[in-house]
Amino acid sequence: MRLMFTGIMLLALSGCAGINVKQYEGNTPKLDLYEYFLGATTGWGIVLDRSDRLTRQFVVTIDGQVDDGGNLIMEEDFEWSDGERSKRIWRINKNGDHSYVGRAGDVIDTAQGIAYGNVLSWNYVLALESQGSIWHIDFDDWMFLQPNNVLINRTSMSKFGLHVGEVIIVFRKDGKQEGR
């Protein structure tokens, strides 16, 4: 019985080890956040709750510029399916060949990112308002650059280590505004 319990615990813990983004180093096309988000970008997204039920949809338009200090400034304008509009401004700094650090008004502390090949792992805590309360939710973003300037973003949201939802966004870099 003890051996079986130990085996189950090891299996459970191995699922928490995470994915090493460096394994994607040879993948193409190569993702560089500065290059991809410079200028106009459009994204279409959905928010799923912990039961995978669709709760919201949105379109986000992004204007990216590099400031005099070498930071990527991304102004994100969200149009939600329920009529709400919101804005987030990211200030992202590239630290070396593979590492990024980002800040935004509703991000607690900093976002940390690592990119290899066509993949970026981006982690941060976001202060989200829900029913008059502010919740600090852990965001684990994985971005995958595809051919034709399509970027797929899959985000797992958690609180106290428990899965609370998911966000999926498909970005298109050519600036077209179809589907709005």
Domain-wise residue ranges, the chain: 22-172
Predicted local confidence at residue 108, as pLDDT: 97
Nearest-5° Cα angle at 95, 91 to 99 = 90
Strands in 38-161 per DSSP E: 39-49, 54-66, 72-80, 85-95, 99-103, 107-116, 119-130, 133-146, 150-159
Predicted local confidence at residue 5, as pLDDT: 39
- Which pTM value belongs to this model? 0.85
pLDDT in tens, the chain (180 residues): 444 433 444 334 334 457 899 999 999 999 999 999 999 999 999 999 999 999 999 999 999 999 999 999 999 999 999 999 999 999 999 998 999 999 999 999 999 999 999 999 999 999 998 889 999 999 999 999 999 999 999 999 999 999 999 999 999 987 444 433
86 within 8 A of 78, measured Cβ to Cβ: yes
42 within 8 A of 74, measured Cβ to Cβ: no
The one-letter amino acid at 39: G
**In the structure encoding, which two tokens stand for residue 47, read together?**
């928010």
What's domain 22-172's architecture? Answer: Beta Barrel (2.40)
